């Protein structure tokens, strides 16, 4: 049985109708592939449409500010993707808006790794490059019976070789779309549809009853716990303070309320805890229980605190050097982490 032909035949019958599959425009494909990294298709659809509506060309995206792009990306997560997206848009725009048409040259762009370069080069330019994402690893591991960990050095090397060998070099775009879609819809992590699988006869894992054992993956990195405390300061003019996260950490270049990261869950805090030059009376904690927010390798436990000042922030000039003073309505204009955006929406704009 021809592996690629069987997958492509399956794909033509069962594939999902997704907007980025109706184009060979490198810009559209690049945009979708960056958004789809570590994110489910259903969540990407609206973001993809909204980005294309606001930034129909790479030149439009390049002219936007980073803050605007982060705001548009808000809620999609893994914000380094948005920062790299913006930088790459500027690079491509300077090249007359033309994306490189080869895997090798695409990889030189910010935020484009092996998988994304292979996807863009094959979908947009028909280059014979095999993609390797989680779905592809799973299909190949089961079909070929490979028990090397997919995230080990040896495993990655072997899977790259096998993916390249099985690629239909005359129809790389169809092949790549097919194998990824097959892994997403048919050869799923749990409850794969083996009874109706077109690869069943030659599938080593099925023949050896090892479907649920493959692929093999090395244990994940230990999840780190962090305790974040945000204080919502409001002065007599109903203004608030925001600061920009400039360090290389989660949510880089996004905005947030004044922050104190503690070693554990806090029951009491003062303005001194937040290193603020303000009256030192105790703050009111607004959250009874911490809000848990899960990232890939971090579990965040977040409390919100509050302090209303009887004077203007202008009374404390040192604050104006470190923070931006904004109105309640302006809070909606800033790119903030989604957990803060949700809190603002829920508690500031209930009606």
CA of 336: how far to CAs of 177, 253, 341, in Å? 34, 9, 6
Contact partners, residue 284, CB within 8 Å, separation at least 6 = 305, 306, 307
Question: What's the CA gap between 309 and 258, in Å, rounded?
Answer: 15
Question: What's the CA gap between 22 and 113, in Å, rounded?
Answer: 23
Question: What's the CA gap between 61 and 276, in Å, rounded?
Answer: 37
Q: Is 340 exposed, middle or buried (0-12, 13-18, 19+ CB in 10 A)?
A: buried
Whats the size of the chain, residue-wise? 351
Residue 33 falls in the annotated catalytic set: yes
Residue 301, SS3 per DSSP: strand
CA of 338: how far to CAs of 226, 252, 344, in Å? 17, 13, 10
CB atoms within 10 A of CB 217: 14
Displacement of CA 339 from its chain's centroid (Å)? 15
Question: What's the CA gap between 202 and 145, in Å, rounded?
Answer: 10
Give the DSSP letter of residue 239.
E
235 contacts 313 by C-beta, under 8 angstroms: yes
CA of 14: how far to CAs of 132, 184, 262, in Å? 21, 11, 50
Which residues are marked as active site? 33
């Amino acid at each position: 049985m021809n592996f690629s032909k069987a997958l492509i035949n399956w794909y033509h019958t069962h594939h999902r109708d997704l907007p980025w599959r109706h184009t060979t425009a490198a810009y559209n494909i690049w945009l979708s592939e960056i958004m789809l990294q570590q994110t489910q298709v259903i969540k990407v659809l609206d973001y993809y449409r909204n980005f294309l509506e606001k930034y129909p060309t790479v030149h439009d995206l390049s002219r936007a500010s980073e803050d605007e792009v982060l705001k548009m990306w808000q809620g999609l997560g893994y914000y380094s993707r948005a920062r790299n997206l913006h930088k790459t848009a500027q690079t491509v725009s300077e090249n007359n808006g033309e994306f490189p048409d080869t895997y090798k040259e695409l990889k030189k762009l910010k935020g484009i790794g092996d998988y994304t370069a292979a996807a863009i080069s094959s979908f947009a330019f028909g280059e014979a490059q095999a993609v390797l994402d989680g779905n592809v690893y799973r299909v190949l591991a089961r079909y070929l019976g490979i028990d090397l960990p997919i995230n080990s050095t040896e495993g990655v090397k072997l899977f790259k070789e096998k993916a390249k060998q099985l690629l239909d070099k005359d129809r790389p775009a169809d092949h790549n779309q097919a194998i990824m879609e097959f892994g997403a819809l048919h050869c799923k992590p749990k409850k794969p549809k083996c009874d109706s699988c077109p690869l069943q006869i030659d599938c080593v894992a099925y023949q050896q009853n090892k479907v649920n054992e493959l692929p093999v993956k090395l244990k994940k990195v230990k999840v780190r716990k962090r305790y974040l405390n945000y204080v919502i300061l409001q002065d007599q003019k109903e203004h608030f303070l925001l600061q920009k996260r400039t360090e290389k950490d989660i949510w880089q270049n996004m905005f947030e309320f004044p922050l104190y990261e503690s070693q554990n869950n806090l029951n009491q805090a003062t303005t001194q805890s937040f290193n603020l030059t303000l009256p030192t009376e105790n703050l009111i904690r607004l959250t009874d229980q911490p809000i848990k927010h899960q990232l890939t390798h971090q579990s965040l436990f977040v409390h919100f605190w509050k302090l209303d000042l009887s004077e203007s922030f202008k009374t404390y000039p040192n604050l104006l050097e470190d923070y931006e003073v904004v109105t309640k309505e302006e809070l909606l204009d800033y790119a903030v982490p989604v957990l803060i955006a949700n809190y603002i929406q829920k508690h500031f704009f209930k009606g």
